[in-house]
């Protein structure tokens, strides 16, 4: 059986892309180099800002470059693609129609994971950029899977954007109190059973702070999980129970 090569549409941002590669490696049940997934990475850091375009704050459309990168990875031998940016999935259909290989959908996979995991989590807080929230992609998939999406109010949304753009993208640290304060507010005020880290920069914070909580679902981890499975490899048995 011919092994599948995973293509990674990355650079949005570079720290999240690097962390995705680490998750895939850490999560794969492998004893040798040869048992890991072969990957092609396009770390295209100059793709225009997705949120700014969605909100009408920029006329620089990221879609042409996303499509070019997807085609490049396909022509280079990728059998399927993973895009390490939640907000870019607003353009999922436009990218998918340009290629002949599957593009995993981080939002669909994450919401489906929660829906299948158990019946304890029905009200889900969405921690994401304003662009992702504005696109409605998480709200749509939650509705499809019988879950209620709770979006942050303006104060929480502003705090998230500050953390994402003024701290993580600039290589600065976020305190555990600052991060958990947002999550606790979504649970206490929004009544959420769980929250989705719907921005891959937030996944980086979760790793930095070593937060492993049942009520925090990391979209980048779920994308890694599905990438491994779709490439025919196995997940470490204890990865999601640590």
Residue 207, in any domain of the structure: yes
In a domain, 61, yes or no: yes
Question: From the CB of residue 184, how many other CB atoms can be counted at a distance below 10 Å?
Answer: 13
Spatial distance between the Cα atoms of 160 and 152, rounded to a whole number of angstroms: 9
Return the pLDDT at 76: 98
Same domain, residue pair 134 and 43: no
pLDDT above 80: residue 241:
no
Q: Which residues pair with 197 in a beta bridge?
A: 127, 218
Q: What is the pLDDT of residue 110?
A: 98
Q: Is residue 1 part of a domain?
A: no
- Residues 86 and 112 grouped into a single domain: no
The pLDDT of 90-99, averaged and rounded, is 98
Which residues, including other chains, have CB under 8 Å from residue 184's CB and lie 6 or more apart? none
| CA separation for the pair 47, 106 (Å, rounded) | 19
pLDDT of amino acid 119: 84
Supply the DSSP symbol for 81. E
Ordered alpha helix ranges (H), the chain: 14-27, 50-54, 63-75, 92-96, 106-117, 130-135, 137-144, 154-162, 176-188, 200-208, 219-230
Q: Is residue 205 part of a domain?
A: yes
User: Is the separation of the CB atoms in 233 and 26 below 8 Å?
Assistant: no
Same domain, 137 and 237: no
**99 and 115 co-located in one domain:** no
Q: How many CB atoms lie within 10 A of CB 94?
A: 14
The whole-number pLDDT of residue 49 equals: 95
Looking at the structure of the chain, the number of domains it has is 2
C-alpha closest to that of 9 among 66, 92, 91, 79: 66
CB atoms within 10 A of CB 208: 15
Confidence of residue 242 (pLDDT cuts 50, 70, 90): low
Q: Which residues are catalytic?
A: 85, 199
Domain that holds residue 142: 107-218
Q: Residue 64: its pLDDT value, please?
A: 98
CATH of the domain at 203: 3.40.50.1860
Residue 180 included in any domain = yes
pLDDT at 190: 82
Q: Using 50, 70 and 90 to split pLDDT, how confident is the model at 1? A: low
- The phi and psi torsions of 73 (rounded to 5 degrees) equal -65, -40
Rg (the chain; Cα; Å): 17
pLDDT digits (tens, 9 = 90+) for 112-148: 999 999 888 999 999 999 999 999 999 999 999 999 9
Whether 214 and 180 share a structural domain? yes
Give yes or no: residues 76 and 136 share one domain.
no
- Examine the domain organization and report whether 145 and 230 are in the same domain: no
> Are 75 and 152 contained in the same domain?
no
142 in a domain, yes or no? yes
Per-residue pLDDT tens for 178-232?
999 999 889 887 899 999 999 999 999 999 999 889 999 999 999 999 999 999 9
Q: What is the pLDDT of residues 145-164, one digit of tens each?
A: 999 999 999 988 999 999 98
Contact 202, 63 (CB under 8 A): no
What pLDDT is stored for residue 77 in this prediction? 97
Q: How far apart are CA 191 and CA 212, in angstroms?
A: 20
205 and 111 in a common domain:
yes
> What's the pLDDT band for 67 if we cut at 50, 70, 90?
very high
Structure tokens of 54? 């969605």
Residue 19 has pLDDT above 60, yes or no: yes
- Is the pTM higher than 0.85? yes
Q: How confident is the model over 22-36, as a mean pLDDT?
A: 96
Helices 154-162 and 176-188 cross at an angle (nearest 10°) of 160
Strand 194-197 to strand 148-150: parallel, antiparallel, or no bridges (unpaired)?
unpaired
């Amino acid at each position: 059986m011919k092994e599948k090569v995973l293509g990674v549409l990355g650079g949005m941002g570079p720290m999240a892309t690097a962390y995705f590669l680490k998750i895939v490696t850490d999560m794969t049940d492998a004893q040798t180099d040869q048992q890991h997934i072969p990957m092609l990475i396009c770390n295209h850091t100059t793709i225009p800002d997705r949120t700014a375009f969605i909100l009408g704050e920029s006329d620089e459309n990221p879609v042409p470059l996303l499509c070019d990168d997807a085609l490049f990875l396909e022509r280079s031998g990728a059998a399927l693609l993973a895009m390490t940016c939640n907000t870019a999935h607003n353009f999922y259909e436009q990218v998918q129609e340009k290629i002949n290989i599957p593009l995993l959908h981080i939002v669909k996979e994450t919401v489906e994971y929660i829906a299948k995991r158990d019946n304890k989590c029905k009200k889900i807080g969405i921690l994401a950029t304003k662009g992702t929230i504005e696109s409605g992609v998480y709200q749509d998939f939650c509705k499809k899977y019988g879950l209620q999406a709770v979006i942050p109010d303006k104060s929480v949304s502003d705090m998230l954007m500050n953390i994402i753009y003024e701290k993580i993208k600039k290589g600065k640290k976020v305190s555990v109190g600052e991060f958990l304060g947002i999550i606790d507010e979504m649970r206490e005020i929004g009544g959420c059973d769980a929250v989705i880290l719907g921005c891959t920069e937030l996944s980086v914070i979760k790793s930095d702070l070593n937060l492993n909580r049942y009520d925090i679902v990391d979209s980048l981890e779920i994308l890694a999980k599905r990438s491994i499975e779709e490439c025919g490899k196995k997940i470490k048995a204890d990865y999601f129970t640590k």
